[in-house]
Structure 1
Amino acid sequence: MTAIGPTDSLVDVPGVRVGHCTHHGEGWLTGSTVVLTDPDGAVGGVDVRGGGPGTRETDLLNPLHGNERVHAVLLTGGSAYGLSAADGVMSALEDAGIGYPVGPAGVVPIVPAAVIFDLGRGGDVRARPGPESGRLACTDAWTAAGETAVRQGNLGAGTGALAGGLKGGVGSASQLLDDGTTVAALVVVNAVGSVLDPRTGELWGARHLLVEPPARPEPAALQRHLERVEALRRAMMPPEPLATTLVVIATDATLPKSRCAKVAGIAHDGLARAISPVHTMFDGDTAFALSTARRPEPSRFGLHDLLTAAADCTTRAVVHAVLAAESVETAAGRWPSYREELLGG
């Protein structure tokens, strides 16, 4: 029987912390989300499938390369500009003495990063995350360590996220395997593709929820939504159909880099169940995987269960993000949430 973790979020994996920095107002609608590991780091993997990715330090996660551990993963808005937020994460970790040891008392934190496109959604195209955003996200992760769950919706890297004409955001989910292993996902849903079935208005991924799914939208509400999205498409609003959905999978099972890469790859299966189309040339869809190695390495069948859970958690996390998102209006436009536009709440 499938069991949900205590908080149904990424922090159910021991040693993992999540922090957000949110910028909203006065031209801003963006932010950064950081996933921190134990001070000794975690084994990492990555799989990039979107046609327009913006990433940093992903080559280090190649199983053929020597680096074995990462100390944080940064997800951020700001398109390519937002990659500078990783500098703030590195400096915060350096100040804490966390990183790959070099020289006398020196460290180099290893911080892979990926960005979403949200430029100008708050009204000012120059309002985007920088180093201070990354540093503040780390501070939030350390101070939020006692929280019971990852905060979801319109915050952090999900602040300016959209999902096929609806408001996107941050979502998370977790699962406990029969052998005691924990698997969890965190996503930033910012997709060109749609998260809902145009025939019924139901969320594509809702059937994978482990709780009662939301009610089916009324036909009139669905028709209004489809007409609005089509009008936006015809008017080319926003003018650049650019996006990107990001994923971090974490587990306490011991995995080598090659297996982490496999876990990251199967997370994309979870995206494909919840977003259609996915991995387009306008998206930079990227998935990371982290192993904190607090539990033994799984058997072949245990690995199969872990991979299955990774995909399932990713799908559920997308649904959680869309359901947690709230409507937003800025100088650049108005983006209603799924709950407001389709469910009337």
Structure 2
Amino acid sequence: MGAITDVPGIRVGHEQKSDDGWLSGVTVVLPPPGTVGSVDVQGGGPATHETDALDPTTLVSEVSAVVLTGGSAYGLVSASGAQRWCEEDGRGFAVPGGVVPIVPAAAIFDLGRGGDFSARPTPDMGYAAAAAAAAEEDGHDVGRGNVGAGTGALIGRTYKGGVGTASIVLDHGVIVGAIAVVNALGLPTVEHSVLEKSVFQPGAPLNTTLIVVATNAVLDVAECKRTASASHAGIARALSPSHTLGDGDTVFCLSTRAKALDRSDEAARQLSLITLQSAAANVVRLAILDGVAAAEAVHTPAGDYGAYGAL
């Protein structure tokens, strides 16, 4: 499919609203049980939840779900809805009396773009997106463009952004996929040239590109962290500028741990990881460009976000 769901067991669900003042939504990446993960935040204006739990030095390694949401910091409440769904499904870190689902989240800024500043994702929307992901078949196609967390996305504060996805198949059945929510301050680049002059105007941080990279390769949490860090190169290759003070660029990396890499000696281990991490950066670039291409080609003066209310 050329999607993150080419990684077996990975499912994606969207929930959004685009009427009555709304232009926002939630995307949930639901991995199979046993998936480990980490995160790397390099943007200057992030809005995140539960990312500290993904540090390689902490207790928990498994990730129950990843939530990508609109609504800026307000929208992070949608993670509690996805967490509730995971608890009902028995997914999470086992503790006496039940489980505690580990559901990290990150948000883009889309407040007011449908006309109502208070119209932003809720816990119920996070629950619905998680349920939608669970209802999908393995290997399903992924909604692209103005869906889920990409519903109210913009690029360059002027042109429509959105959700994109891509995948790459490496040797021995190793797959690397990515999903991107493109709401960047910068504009896309092709052959290292910016497509159009940026419309950037100084002001409040209103942007962010969110990424989830997934692979079936066996990685530990530290290797997921390093892969997430390497994947930021894909953002820099696809968008100019990137990782600014006005962006909260964040990359999650998930490993379903199904395909062993060559670790027969130290040289083989390093080559395997470098190859995978290089592919991850490339697939992030492709997912971002896919999200830009899938979004509606609509232009509006910077700041006139209400014009998108009917999209």
Secondary structure in 2 aligned to 1:34? strand
Identity of aligned residues (%): 49
Work out which of the two has the higher radius of gyration on C-alpha atoms and give 1 or 2: 1
Q: Would you say 1:59 and 2:52 are equivalent positions?
A: yes
User: Deviations 1:97-142 (Å, cap 9, x if unpaired)?
Assistant: 11111113x1111001101011000000000001011001011112
Total equivalences in the alignment:
298
Secondary structure in structure 1 of the residue aligned to 2:128: helix
Give the 5 Å matches for 1:322-341. Answer: 322-327=292-297, 332-334=305-307
- For residues 171-320 of structure 1, the aligned pairs below 5 Å read 171-196=164-189, 202=195, 230=199, 240-298=204-262, 299-320=269-290
CA RMSD of aligned residues (A): 2.1
Task: Summarize the Cα distance change of 1:329–1:94 in structure 2 as closer, same or farther, 3 Å threshold.
Answer: farther
User: Deviation string for 1:66-89 (max 9, x for gaps)?
Assistant: 111111000000000001000000
Q: Distance in 2 between matches of 1:199 and 1:55?
A: 30
CA distance in 1, matches of 2:184, 2:104: 21
2:136 aligned to which of 135, 141, 144:
144
Residue 16 (structure 1) aligned with residue 42 (structure 2): no
Return the letter of the residue paired with 1:124: D
CA contact (8 A) 1:328 1:334 kept: no
TM-score normalised according to structure 2 size: 0.90
Pick aligned residue for 2:124 from 117, 132, 135 = 132
Runs of 5+ consecutive residues of structure 1 not aligned to the other structure: 1-6, 203-221, 336-345
- For 2:286, the aligned partner's letter is R
Aligned to 1:42: 35
Work out whether residues 171 and 324 of structure 1, in 8 Å CA contact, stay in contact via their aligned partners in 2.
yes
Q: Describe the SS at the equivalent of 2:27.
A: strand
CA contact (8 A) 1:53 1:244 kept: yes
- Deviation larger for 298-307 or 270-279: 298-307
CA–CA separation in structure 1 for the residues paired with 2:165 and 2:213? 10
* CA distance in 1: counterparts of 2:74 and 2:193, whole angstroms: 38
Q: What stretches of structure 2 of length at least 5 have no aligned partner?
A: 263-268
- Structure 1 distance, partners of 2:77, 2:229, is 26
1:76 paired with 2:46, answer no
